[in-house]
Structure 1
Amino acid sequence: MKRVVLKRVEPPRPVATVRYVECQKNHAAAAGGHIVDGCREFIPSGAEGTDAAFTCAACGCHRNFHRRVES
């Protein structure tokens, strides 16, 4: 007796383009206020694949502080 195995093939997911825009780090959180530095766009300070690529060259914050926009 033969067994037939059916595999479900899922269609490929569309590739989303991700950009990181304005910095939302609150620099006055310790004092109980809300002040952002005004950085408008994430600019990596190093080459892709290095640890420096996660630091913004404009404001020095980590990429996670910048608002993520998928398009």
Structure 2
Amino acid sequence: MGPQQDRSAPKTHANGTAAAPERKDGKVVHYKECQRNHAAGIGGYAVDGCREFMASAPEGSPTALLCAACGCHRSFHKREVEAFDCDYESDTSGR
């Protein structure tokens, strides 16, 4: 027999980071491309090209809010809220 797995633990991605949790109100938050202006100090505009936030550590650790790809804080990444509307009627009358 193999080791028992804790099924109550949050699911993780292949890189060991935790998956985005679904909220109680039916919304999932995704963090997309990095929008940090690296050349703001010299009066220019340059972004690093990071396409999506990847947590550098598991959720709950101090560095979980830093992106593993670009090193920026999660707040620099574009935030998208995906809402799931499960309020639909099923028609079983056969018409």
Q: 1:50, CA displacement in angstroms?
A: 1.1
Which of 26, 42, 45 is matched with 1:31 structurally? 42
TM-score with structure 1 setting the length? 0.79
Q: Which structure has the larger Rg over C-alpha atoms?
A: 1
| Separation (CA, whole Å) in 2 of partners of 1:60 and 1:39 | 10
Dislocated runs of 4+, deviation >2 Å = none
TM-score with structure 2 setting the length? 0.60
Q: 1:52, CA displacement in angstroms?
A: 1.2
Post-superposition Cα deviations, 1:21-43, rounded to whole Å, max 9, x if no partner, equal 00000000011010000000000
Seq. identity, %: 56
Local SS of the residue matching 1:52: coil
Number of aligned positions between the proteins: 59
Q: What corresponds to 2:25 in structure 1?
A: 14
Q: 1:61, CA displacement in angstroms?
A: 0.2
Greater fraction of residues in helix: 1
| Separation (CA, whole Å) in 2 of partners of 1:68 and 1:21 | 6
Q: CA RMSD in A?
A: 1.0
- Specify every segment of 5 or more residues in structure 2 that has no aligned partner in the other structure, as ranges: 1-23, 83-95
| Separation (CA, whole Å) in 2 of partners of 1:16 and 1:50 | 23
Q: What corresponds to 1:57 in structure 2?
A: 68
- Specify every segment of 5 or more residues in structure 1 that has no aligned partner in the other structure, as ranges: 1-12
| Separation (CA, whole Å) in 2 of partners of 1:66 and 1:51 | 18
